[in-house]
Structure 1
């Protein structure tokens, strides 16, 4: 299980971006992330994948999850119903890893039992 943002683990930070120009201000050891709500974010995802930039897309609906997964981002970030999203990822053997947003370390054990690929602390999504 991947764990991003736990104080005793060295993992890359996630940096929120809104446009392609924001990528230039991100550090090499950061993973850029953005929401999948509008067409401009899909263009942003296409750019990151084409340029081989590690990226994460935060999705709120199954349709956006499936559409984004087809472009193969590094991570797909979700907030709720992790078993449903993880099931889709496993059923279709997606290349992207499913990360669930958490706020407390105790949530890690529960999500590990549900088979989620990983977690990211909300404080790590800067």
Structure 2
């Protein structure tokens, strides 16, 4: 299970961007994070075309499918969607890893029992503005 931002485990950060210009303010080879939204398609296409690792935050199954098709390396889903998203990812052999944003380490066990690829703590997200 992947754990990002846990206090015991060293991990890479995700840099939350809101436009293409924000990319210049991130370290080289960093993981970028943004919400899936039609308004962000220009950013997503730019990341994909430039082979930049990125995570997309999605809210439903349709967005999950889009995120995979758009080449997201990580897809963040709400906990309520975690099991379904993981099953879809395994069924369709997604290259993406399914992550769930959590606030408490007690949630790790629940996600492990659901078979989710990983968890992301808020500490792993760096806001670029």
CA deviations 1:3-46 (Å, max 9, x no partner) are: 00011211111111011111110112631100012x23122111
What TM-score comes out, normalization by structure 2 length?
0.90
Assess if the C-alpha contact under 8 Å between 1:34 and 1:56 holds in 2: yes
Aligned partners of 1:62, 1:77: CA distance in 2, in Å?
Answer: 12
Q: 1:115 Cα deviation (Å)?
A: 0.5
Where do 1:3-82 residues align within 5 Å?
3-28=3-28, 30-37=30-37, 39-80=38-79, 81-82=81-82
Secondary structure class of the residue paired with 1:98:
strand
Aligned residue pair count: 125
> Which structure carries more relative contact order (alpha carbon 8 Å, separation 6+)?
2
Q: Which runs of 5+ in 2 are unaligned?
A: none
What TM-score comes out, normalization by structure 1 length?
0.92
Aligned partners of 1:29, 1:12: CA distance in 2, in Å?
Answer: 10
Runs of 4+ in 1 over 6 A off after TM superposition: none
